[in-house]
Structure 1
Amino acid sequence: MSAPPCRLYVLVAMDAPVALIIRRGPADWWHLLRWDLERRVVEPGAWFGGMLYPRRCDISPDGRYFGYFALRNGRAPWDAFFAVSRTPWLSALAAWQTYGTYTIGCRFTRDGSLTISGAMQERPFHGRFPNKVAVEVGHTNWVRRDIQNELKRGWRPPREPLDLPLDPDEAAVVIQRTRPTGHGTALILAHTGVDFQRHSIEGVQVRYFRKDRDGRITPLPDAAWADWDHGGRLLLATREGRVAIHEQKTVQDRRKGTWTETWTHDLRDLEPAPAPAPDWAEGW
């Protein structure tokens, strides 16, 4: 019996053409990769044997730093902690002890500050963070937690109900994001619940759709994650384990709603290969 495909999630920097790919598999191995969206290059980084929570993580606006929540076998305080590292590595430059898994997430701002939501200590037990840090009590809106990274990037509930091809018993929370370059095209995300028995990141079940300028809605069944980059290209992480860029090359493409895959990178058949972080990733 073949192993299940790897699971992918992506964080896109707000102010730089950089993304961080978070890959799970095989089993409890995680792998970080830096995706240079301008050069269309994927650079491998850390391997981690434990548990990461990608939907509770964030990447700094300039793409240089990664805020993450992790669990691993070991003695406290390194058994459950929140940390900041250099992308795409996990060498903690600052780390805070958390009280179990009740950590909601984090948020970097453009001025360099960091807000962490959850049950945790306010002072780092390891290293230091050079800018302002705020620790706040986490909320209990679990769906909001699952889609908080989308909300940070401008996804919002639609102003009017959308006629999505969902099963009658699927109760969905729907958000959408209009393409940054306009032309009336939008991406739609339907959060349909949590099921840890199904292949997903943190058990969260999502379905993606594209709404074209004429209002036509097209399902994206292969998408495990999707978003726009700064230039309006469609970024995808597929359920089979690839990342891809789709584009509309001509005015005619935009009129017809035609998208072409112009680049892809296969992340399926990777084996864990832990290695020390480079020297530059060990300091601010």
Structure 2
Amino acid sequence: MTPRPPSCRLYVLLAAAAPTALIMRRGPSAWWHLLTWDLQAGEVSSGAWLRGTLYPGRSAISPDGKLLGYFALGHGRHPWDTYFAVSKTPWLTALAAWHTHGTWTGGCEFAADNSLTISASMDSRPFHGRYPYGATVGSRTHRQNAWRPLAGEAEPIPPSLRSAVLLRRVQPDGEHALVAARTGGARPHYLREEAGGGYTPLPEAAWADWDRRGRLLMATHQGVVKIVERRSGAWAETWSRDLSGLTPDPAPSPSWARAW
């Protein structure tokens, strides 16, 4: 049986200092939907819907998971045609917005104090709102990243992936690791590095990472987010949520998301 094509694509931004993540869901077509993933409570909460274009790889959330810096192609009138904005997750209501000169952007990064570095061809001052924590515009970002290049011990990697760029992320306080194998502009292939040696491919994973408790988080190609844990010497799925069947249902952002 031919597998059904995915109805959505999932991207996940993981907070560095809190048990939370932001899910950026694309589908159907040009629709995007934001959801907060509470990793401690095991809950997913819906937020904004946008008919436009977002760039997850050039966006970031603050260390506490409460703020989102994002690039958007909104198909609106200037200056809302292409812009960078900061909002409160999981909403897109811009509390500060800068006009960008086209879609060239290099990404953004929040520091521990929520100050923001934005790498893009864009205006230095926001045309809308303000950013109270301070923003540096036009500098190259140097994202704090726990993924490190895999050294020369990658012999067990499948031959089809040996020409890929290999990055390794060690499980916090654990014995395992993840490997992301990226070829060209495609989304990476993920493998789990086992404590006893060898690699287990994770073909269903469109995204994978460890949370701060050492649990394996995954977003699948079929639109499911899940948590996998080591139990009695084996990996077991302990929580999941299917996000594939959602349909656009735009709603105004709540009052707390519309002001500092």
Shared fold, TM over 0.5: yes
Partner in structure 1 of residue 187 of structure 2: 205
Report the 3-state secondary structure (helix = DSSP H, G, I; strand = E; otherwise coil) of the residue aligned with 1:193: coil
Matches within 5 A, 1:1-284: 4-138=6-140, 152-163=144-155, 164-167=157-160, 171-183=163-175, 185-194=176-185, 204-250=186-232, 253=233, 258-284=234-260
**Distance in 2, Cα, partners of 1:94 & 1:161:** 46
- The one-letter amino acid of 1:270's match is L
Give secondary structure in 2 for the equivalent of 1:280.
helix
| SS of equivalent to 2:40 | coil
Following superposition, the deviation at residue 138 of structure 1 comes to 4.9
Q: Which runs of 5+ in 2 are unaligned?
A: none
Please list the CA deviations of residues 168-215 of structure 1 after superposition, one character each: whole Å capped at 9, or x if unmatched: 7x73111010000222x1000011112xxxxxxxxx331000001111
Partner Cα distance (1:44, 1:152) in 2: 28
Letter of the structure 2 residue corresponding to residue 227 of structure 1: D
Distance 1:4 1:243, change over 3 A: closer
Deviation at 1:260, TM superposition (A): 0.2
| CA deviation after TM superposition for structure 1 residue 106, in Å | 0.3
Matches of 1:261 and 1:229, distance apart in 2 = 14
AA aligned opposite 1:156: R
State the one-letter code of the partner of 1:214. Answer: G
Q: 1:69 and 1:221 mapped to 2: Cα distance?
A: 29
SS in 1 for 2:150: coil
Once residues 225 and 159 of structure 2 are traced to their aligned partners in structure 1, the CA distance between those partners, rounded to angstroms, is 25
Q: CA RMSD in A?
A: 1.6
Task: Please tell me the residue identity of whatever aligns with 1:96.
Answer: W
Q: Is the 8 A contact 2:205 2:220 kept in 1?
A: yes
Cα offsets for 1:68-107 (capped at 9, x unmatched): 0000211111000000000000000000000111011100
1:47–1:272 CA contact under 8 A, matched in 2: yes
Q: Is the 8 A contact 2:147 2:167 kept in 1?
A: yes
Question: Is residue 96–residue 126 contact of structure 1 (8 Å, CA) maintained in 2?
Answer: yes
Letter in 2 for 1:266: D
Equivalent position SS for 2:46 = strand
AA paired with 1:37? Answer: L
| Structure 1 residue ranges (4+ consecutive) displaced by more than 4 angstroms after TM superposition | none
| Cα gap change, 1:166 to 1:84, in 2 (>3 Å) | farther
Worse overlay, 204-213 or 232-241: 204-213
Q: Secondary structure at the match of 2:32?
A: strand
Is residue 179–residue 232 contact of structure 1 (8 Å, CA) maintained in 2?
yes
1:265 counterpart letter in structure 2: R
CA contact (8 A) 1:5 1:239 kept: no
Determine the C-alpha separation between the residues in 2 that align with 1:171 and 1:234.
26
Distance in 2 (CA, whole Å) between partners of 1:78 and 1:171 is 41
Counterpart CA distance in 2 for 1:161 and 1:261 is: 29
For residues 115 and 138 of structure 1, the distance between their equivalents in structure 2, rounded to whole angstroms, comes to 8
Gaps spanning 5+ residues in structure 1: where?
Answer: 140-147, 195-203
Name the amino acid aligned to 2:244. Answer: R
Q: Which deviates further from its counterpart, 219-228 or 69-78?
A: 69-78
In 2, Cα distance between equivalents of 1:138 and 1:99: 16
Asked if structure 2 preserves the Cα contact closer than 8 Å seen for 1:103 and 1:138, the reply is no
CA–CA separation in structure 2 for the residues paired with 1:181 and 1:171? 30
In structure 2, C-alpha distance between the alignment counterparts of 1:51 and 1:112, rounded to whole Å: 25
Distance apart, 1:131 and its partner CA = 1.2
